[in-house]
Amino acid sequence: MTDVRIGIGGWNFPPWRGTFFPEKWPQARELEYASSKFRTLEINATFYGRQAPKSWEKWAATVPDGFQFAIKGSRFCVSRGKLAEGAEGIGNFFAQGMAALGPKLGPILWMFQERRQFDRDDITGFIDLLPETLDGLPLRHVIEPHHESFRDDRFFDLCKSRNIAVVYGDADEVPCIDVPTADFAYARLKRMSEEVPTGYDEAALAGFEQLARGWTAQGRDAYIYMINGAKVRAPAAALALSERLG
């Protein structure tokens, strides 16, 4: 049975206090509140550095059963000249303790730099480094390319061979790709407007609803995140889309 998860990026953002979080809600309990409203959140801190084992354990204990975190892969793994030479960095990334999340561990997002162009040999080597499991947990990987050269059937075929999703991006800086390369879809939506109370207007939300229903009709799970843009509107946008999808 397919599943749709809609969420936001992170949970500690001061402008959400009093707009998304209730007035005077304790900052130490913001993850608890956010995970009561959404079934997934994308963790950005992992892009910048390792997280302490106790952090993973605390996050796992805070969110409800059935919840999943998406984890952004380390910048040190995706910024090197040759991605295929990053075995040590990828090993270190997965050794930081995220297995403590158990079934609450969702997709791992690998966000390529804008200058990164498609190189079949290098991307093949990188994909070969990505583990399929972690301490017995199945892993899902997703790649966000930032260069049009990735709009290439050879890239899509590589992803299909390893069940790796390609980000559907609603943003100026990424190519908008909607190609089914995995048993799940992963969308990052960044064109929210602060002037619109729900971030996106009704027409845009209806379009995303149609996309999500199309993905599940294909037998794929869907992860959809309201990210950046007018970030203050991200929770309202995610809630509005969640309401549409029931």
Average pLDDT of the chain is: 97
- In this predicted structure, the answer to whether residue 246 has a pLDDT above a threshold of 90 is no
What single-letter amino acid sits at 171? A
Here the tokens at position 168 are: 């559907």
For residues 70 and 108, give the distance between their C-alpha atoms in angstroms, rounded to a whole number: 6
Provide the pLDDT for residue 41.
99
Residue 117 burial (CB count, 10 A): 15
State which H helix or E strand residue 129 sits in.
Answer: helix 120-129
Provide the pLDDT for residue 17.
97
- 4-245 CATH: 3.20.20.410
Which tens digit of pLDDT belongs to each residue from 63-75?
Answer: 999 999 999 999 9
- In this predicted structure, the answer to whether residue 83 has a pLDDT above a threshold of 90 is yes
Secondary-structure breakdown of the chain: helix, strand, coil percentages, each rounded to the nearest 5: 40, 20, 40
188, 225 contact by CB (below 8 A): yes
- In this predicted structure, the answer to whether residue 229 has a pLDDT above a threshold of 90 is no
Which tens digit of pLDDT belongs to each residue from 160-206?
Answer: 999 999 999 999 889 999 999 999 999 999 999 999 999 999 999 99
Sign, Cα dihedral of 212, 215, 219, 220? negative
- In this predicted structure, the answer to whether residue 208 has a pLDDT above a threshold of 90 is yes
Q: What pLDDT band is residue 241 in, cutting at 50, 70 and 90?
A: very high
What single-letter amino acid sits at 22? P
For residues 112 and 11, give the distance between their C-alpha atoms in angstroms, rounded to a whole number: 23
DSSP-derived letter for residue 114 is T
Provide the pLDDT for residue 39.
98
User: Where do the domains of the chain lie?
Assistant: 4-245
Give the residue from 116, 239, 226, 115 showing the smallest Cα distance to 171.
226
Three-class SS of residue 71?
Answer: strand
Which tens digit of pLDDT belongs to each residue from 99-136?
Answer: 999 999 999 999 999 999 999 999 999 999 999 999 99
